[in-house]
Amino acid sequence: MTSIKHKMSMYVSVAVIVSVVTLALYLFLNYFTSLPMFTIFVIIVPLFLLQWRFAPKIIEKANDLKKF
């Protein structure tokens, strides 16, 4: 069983990883494409918001792998 502090640190680490990937995707799209800023945000914002849906699944899978 994990403590609240450990669980919160796992959520924060997943959020940071997804935020960095989202920022990299934004910079890639902004630099290499001629898409307008609004279009880029329409692509990026849902990805950023979906991290909170998938973070618990990623953390559960990591905890399952840690048991072995």
Q: Find tokens 């899978």 and name the residue.
A: 61
Separation of alpha carbons 14 and 12, rounded Å: 5
Q: What is the dihedral of CA 60, 61, 63, 68, to 10 degrees?
A: 150
Q: Is the pLDDT of residue 1 over 60?
A: no
Separation of alpha carbons 34 and 27, rounded Å: 12
How many domains are there within the chain?
1
Q: Indicate the pLDDT class of residue 66, thresholds 50, 70 and 90.
A: low
Instruction: Report pTM.
Output: 0.56
pLDDT tens for each residue of 14-55: 778 877 887 888 888 888 887 777 777 787 778 777 777 777
Q: Find tokens 């630099």 and name the residue.
A: 31
Q: Indicate the pLDDT class of residue 68, thresholds 50, 70 and 90.
A: low
Residue-range definition of the domain harbouring residue 59: 4-67
Q: Find tokens 């069983």 and name the residue.
A: 1
Classify 33 as helix, strand or coil.
coil
